Amino acid sequence: MTLEGNHILLLCGTHEARLLAGCLARDHADTRVTASFAGAIRDLPDPGVPVRVGGFGGAAALTAYLREEAVSLLVDATHPFAAQISRNAWEASEAAGTPLIRLERPAWRAGPSDIWQPVASIEKAVAALPGGARAFLAVGRKEIELFYGRTDIYGLVRAIEAPVTPLPGHWDLVLERPSSACEKERSLLVDRGITHVVTKNSGGTGSFAKIEAARDLRLPVIVIERPRLPATQTVSNVREALDKINIVLSSQSPKET
Ligand code: NAP
């Protein structure tokens, strides 16, 4: 099927977004695709389509972008915790009359032997840790600082790039990506004497090994639930996204530039 004459704006930030960009570049070379990144990570992967980097400047500015760039379809494939850009995408899609598809990987679910404590926010996760805990804090660079006030705990932080504000002196920073090998995650938890794991419910396989490792070690996991987002047509994997993109774009005529 040809989607010629269309312009897809793909909001990136996940592994699935990069896969989707690659599929669109390969299967729909006649379609204009723009991959948009927040710019939080300096070392951006090449998605195989033209890229723009940085915020739009809020929902109104994103609406203007959709109009000026004759975007025929907005695909929100950002992280499940990137709530602001997802809300902006919904608002801009409504205002500009541009269809929106959200690509959101399913949330993790606790298994029978998991010891999970679900919490509604990062702040609640901070409060849920008992004094003296040795916590593996698997949260983003922006959120980690909320834990700094807990000087009564030890924190092990893993990040791709160092947090802007240095960690408390007795905490440790490991600069690497999450491992998909349970054995490696298990060793990390054992070597640092970890008693609690804190994680966002990001879903997907890329960072699930730490949950498996905690399960093996019978460690409690404080799981931060996903933010609520405005309802829109949502798919859970790249295959479904490609099918939905074909359906949506083939049901409308291309916008004039
Ligand atoms: P956010 O709070 O939803 O976004 C903040 C602002 O960044 C947005 O309002 C937007 O700025 C800009 N932005 C975000 N994603 C963008 C994109 N793909 N293209 C253009 N601009 C974008 O999300 P966040 O600050 O990026 O992250 C919040 C949480 O999600 C953190 O826990 C982070 O670790 C996690 N996360 C996010 C992503 C992601 O896809 N963004 C990826 C991995 C992890 P304007 O309002 O100026 O347009």
CB 13 within 8 A of CB 6: no
- What pLDDT, in 10s, does the model give residues 148-199? 999 999 999 999 889 999 999 999 999 999 999 999 999 999 999 999 999 9
Please work out, in degrees rounded to the nearest 5, the angle formed at the alpha carbon of residue 173 by the alpha carbons of 82 and 214. Answer: 70
Q: Which percentage of the chain shows pLDDT scores above 70? A: 96
Indicate whether residue 13 lines ligand 1 (CB < 6 A). Answer: yes
Where residue 256 falls among pLDDT bands split at 50, 70, 90?
A: very low
Q: Which percentage of the chain shows pLDDT scores above 90? A: 87
Q: Kindly state the average pLDDT of the residues 140-154.
A: 94
**Axis-axis angle for helices 59-68, 83-96 (nearest 10):** 50
Q: Ligand 1 pocket test: which of 85, 147, 225 has the largest number of ligand atoms within 8 Å of its C-beta?
A: 85
- Locate 108 and state its tokens: 């993790």
> 43 Cβ partners below 8 Å, 6+ apart?
none
Say yes or no to pLDDT of 120 above 50: yes
Identify the residue whose C-alpha is closest to ligand 1 atom 44.
79
Element (H or E) spanning 84, and its range?
A: helix 83-96
- What pLDDT, in 10s, does the model give residues 51-81? 999 999 999 999 999 999 999 999 999 999 9
Identify the residue whose C-alpha is closest to ligand 1 atom 15.
38
CB 221 within 8 A of CB 202: no
CA distance 141 to 8: 29
| Ligand 1: centre distance to CA 104 (Å) | 14
- What pLDDT, in 10s, does the model give residues 191-237? 999 999 999 999 999 899 999 999 999 999 999 999 999 999 999 99
CA distance 221 to 116: 5
Where residue 44 falls among pLDDT bands split at 50, 70, 90?
A: confident
| Ligand 1: centre distance to CA 62 (Å) | 13
